Structure 1
């Protein structure tokens, strides 16, 4: 899959989620859930390194961008403090 196809696929999936998502009321966020998101971000970073080493820069960029998005989400929710 080339970069253009990847971008189209991600755009389509994101548009679909934004159209169909259901907001869940949840008064608290468990520490375990926060750690799961952090660990997922670490896995995406590992994937990004893996793909970059194999010359798959488009896939690498998508992976690291996803990791950044997960971390940014936690920051925006006030669950992490950092700056880029």
Structure 2
């Protein structure tokens, strides 16, 4: 059994990134529409998100208004504590 590509990304330092993208409606520029984007990405450069936003500005008609980003590493280093002694019971 092999690990999933998402799990491999997490081991490589990727974390779950969620972005709320507010953009103006092409036909009604006074109105804002919300779009939620989520993928595994690297903090703080966010290459996946930047690639998606570049695609958006090149291809789609709705101009971006604001992008709010949340990021969390799902796999974190283990916390180790030194023990001062060892106790054995029977």
Above 0.5 in TM-score?
A: no
With normalisation by structure 1, the TM-score equals 0.26
Higher Rg: 2
- When normalised by structure 2's length, the TM-score is 0.25
Higher helix share: 1
Query: Normalized per residue, which structure has more strand?
Result: 2
